[in-house]
Amino acid sequence: MSEPENPHIDRPLRSFGRIKARPIKPRQAALMDTLLPAVAVPDPKAGPLDPQALAPQATEVWLEIGFGGGEHMAAQAARRPDVLVIGCEPFLNGVASALRHIDEQGLKNVRIHADDARDVVDALPDASVDRVLILFPDPWHKARHNKRRLLQDETAQAFARILKPGGTLRFVTDWRDYAEWALERLERTPGLQRVGPADQDWFAAPADHVVTRYEEKRLGDTTPIFLEYRRL
């Protein structure tokens, strides 16, 4: 199977909505000033990102796109202190919440990009990431807004590019239309193969999945759907 090219993604449209809602709590606001500079990913627009330089001792590199309040990211990082977890989230209230989790749990293996994840993806080298995690992205479920969805053919190809052979991509949504949209695009992405049998129950959560408060709200139109792909 041919290797996907390293596309430069032309993205005049944002794939996410608002970047701030309620006022950030004082403690979290303080962490934005003190902790965030220490754990921030270097500006990806300034040049290529070298994950090895961010955490030389890390045995793996994971990328979580749209980490929300940071519960899942922090839990995964705590389970695997040997893994560098790079989290991307443009919603500032979510970033502030994630910093609280990092601070309270004393996590040393998390780096944050408080902006568009696609800039980080573009800056990462080929075959440099072991896992890509995309949990409950903005569904943009109205047909006229589908073009704003994070998962497009171009981004699927970009995820395949940065994954190491054998690396995995997990996509989770509670909107059935988005699951079908994602399945269609991931299936036609060169270099990706779905994990498990074709008739696998896509409502079955993987063993290492972490249920968050957001997931428990059941805001979509279906029980969460899990799609897992491996880089060939």
For the stretch 210-225, pLDDT in tens is: 999 989 999 999 999 9
Mean pLDDT within 53-70: 96
142 assigned binding-site residue: yes
Q: Is 64 annotated as a binding residue?
A: yes
| pLDDT at res. 35 | 98
Q: What tokens does 228 get?
A: 């897992």
Topology (CATH) of 26-231: Rossmann fold (3.40.50)
pTM of the predicted structure, to 2 decimals: 0.90
Q: What are the respective helix, strand and coil percentages of the chain, to the nearest 5? A: 35, 20, 45
Q: Which of 13, 4, 41, 45 is nearest to 144 (CA)?
A: 13
Average confidence (pLDDT) over 109-137: 97
Judged against a pLDDT cut of 60, whether residue 7 lies above it is answered with no
- 122 vs 76: CA distance, rounded Å: 24
- 181 has pLDDT over 50: yes
If pLDDT is split at 50, 70 and 90, which confidence band does 74 have?
A: very high
* pLDDT at residue 21 in the model: 60
216 is in an annotated binding site: no
- Compute the average pLDDT of residues 162-175: 98
Q: What pLDDT band is residue 13 in, cutting at 50, 70 and 90?
A: low
pLDDT value at 1 more than 70 = no
Query: Greatest CA separation found in the chain?
Result: 52
Query: What is the Cα–Cα distance from 99 to 94, expressed in whole angstroms?
Result: 9
214 is in an annotated binding site: yes
Banded model confidence at residue 173, pLDDT cuts 50, 70, 90: very high
The pLDDT score that the predictor gives to residue 145 is 80
89 is in an annotated binding site: yes
Q: How many helices (H) and strands (E) does the chain have?
A: 9, 7
> Is 212 labelled as part of a ligand binding site?
yes
Which residues are known to be catalytic? 138
Question: Is the confidence at residue 6, as pLDDT, over 70?
Answer: no
Confidence check: pLDDT of 5 > 50: no
Q: What is the mean pLDDT of residues 141-169?
A: 94
What H or E segment, with its residue span, contains residue 172? strand 163-173
**70, pLDDT greater than 70:** yes
Tens-place pLDDT, residues 32-46? 999 999 999 999 999
